[in-house]
Structure 1
């Protein structure tokens, strides 16, 4: 196992990015508590700049660049939210950014990237997107990886730092997993500050990169078929795998239909408009309650809200919701 980041790394990241990102609300949700039959506290990271937690990690990395790296520019590969965050935060810091995305990414995400003035490069799939990003990195751009970077993970870990500091009593935290940067950082923060809290990860069917990595004993490449592109890298990294295997209770897998149903349930019961990467938390939370029994007090990291009404309605019709 490699070296894991520590709570000191997350505190340093929090100090570095403090003037650039929002300390998002941590609130008890009466509606979700009634819906799930147990007390629920939410960390509303969909209210973050750029609509997701990704602004934290991107900013944490950008603020460490040398003058030469800033001048050369940065590149990132993204299923949506990381690219939006990097493009937006790089523009604010006057750094030229190139974002590589699959054509399967939401059109709104591509539009938001282009609106910042960043260069957008589209590929036929996520594997091709990662390959193009590596070529651009070799040409001299600095890579801002969405999860395989200790600075980025520390930045995402500030979500957990704030949640652990601001929430009342919790027994279990539920966090979505794409590449694993968010859950790695959140788990480090909670295990340092609230070691008795269990941390659970959630993936969707067709994007089970972390679950398959844990089964195989290390990162493996997965054939992707989930509609939830923001949770769909072709593989997790050794760095995020090491954190999750050491600190996370288990990975829960839900269907795409359940994730979309969760978006509708979040709107109805929590009064927030989230994306399927956050909607998957609710069916997973039910699994957690079934496994831990009475006395569960849940924390949900509502990671992002970058989905349009048209996106959700199309998916709802597809799954006959």
Structure 2
């Protein structure tokens, strides 16, 4: 299990390369949900998501030989962008493997940052290719099966605990589980009374399936939310979530996109569906906890385009 010492050490490693993103009370979301809402705006992070934190933490922890070998990562979008940009900033050669379903913008940004981008047919093939490249000598920067990366993501929770007022419940999106593992570890130490809830979308239910099975299992992926579409969680993220997280809610793609529109209208932030999915789950938490709830939302990223959102809104008849 990741402890507060590891997270604080990661905070020192990443401080000069990442933004201490705002923690703000949101009158708009409070009005929408009927309870006090505070948001941690990680969509304002470098590269547009929290992923820059874990990427820098790992890159800074590499040995000279590992740096010289270059790094490789698999990504549905945000991890690849973050690793490409931060590796460029720290003068490390990077290869990013993405599924064909990854947003074209993510591929372009990774290439513009100087990374070599390899495109696979699907996420399972992307993970397989990444393993082969690691076996050929590249240093793997896994998006969630890595204690150093999880500790880096945990700096989100460290800052949230320091900067937020009273909270009863914090909601965090789950792809492979690195972010929620780090955030939950930080909050367990600094805000032990706060409940942490995870959120997945239908067709990207790797953590829900793992909790049901008692450990990581492969899942079929069909969600539009590529940044949450891990083919399986890892043993370490399953352990953290099963131990530290109150529960994991699964919401539809349509509700995740509706959440994107609601965040734009009521919070005035431009988020991706991986963050939009928090709002339908937050409504369920409010129903269980009641009007005394004081919610914290980790708005994990904003890497989506107006064209994407318009297309999804039309697909789900949300216009």
After TM superposition, the structure 1 = structure 2 runs for residues 1-321 of structure 1, keeping only pairs within 5 Å, are: 4-321=1-318
Superposition deviation, residue 294 in structure 1: 2.4
Is residue 34–residue 291 contact of structure 2 (8 Å, CA) maintained in 1?
no
How far apart, CA to CA, are the structure 2 residues paired with 1:70 and 1:91?
A: 12
TM-score after normalising by structure 1: 0.99
Which range moves more in the overlay, 167-176 or 64-73?
64-73
Q: 1-side partners of 2:239 and 2:64: how far apart?
A: 32
Q: Kindly indicate whether the alpha-carbon contact (under 8 Å) linking 2:25 and 2:37 is maintained by their aligned counterparts in 1.
A: yes
Contact 2:54 2:151 in 1 (8 A): yes
Gaps of 5+ in 2: none
TM-fit CA distance, 1:25: 0.2
Aligned partners of 2:106, 2:74: CA distance in 1, in Å?
Answer: 13
- CA deviations 1:17-57 (Å, max 9, x no partner) are 10110000000000000000000000000000000000000
CA–CA separation in structure 1 for the residues paired with 2:68 and 2:165: 45
2:61 is paired with a residue whose SS is coil
State the aligned residue count: 318
**TM-score, normalised via structure 2 length:** 0.99
For structure 1, the residue ranges without an aligned partner over 5 or more in a row are none
Structure 1 consecutive aligned stretches of length 4 or more whose deviation exceeds 4 Å: none
Query: For the aligned residues, what is the CA RMSD?
Result: 0.4
Query: For 1:131-183, what per-residue CA distance to the aligned partner results, in whole angstroms no more than 9, with x for missing partners?
Result: 00000000000000000000000000000000001000000000000000000
C-alpha distance in structure 2 between counterparts of 1:41 and 1:35, whole Å: 13
SS across alignment from 1:221: coil
Query: Which secondary structure state, in structure 2, belongs to the residue aligned with residue 63 of structure 1?
Result: helix
Cα offsets for 1:175-200 (capped at 9, x unmatched): 00000000000000111001000000
Give the Å deviation of 1:72: 1.1
SS at match of 2:200: strand
Quote the Cα distance in structure 2 between the aligned partners of 1:292 and 1:39.
12
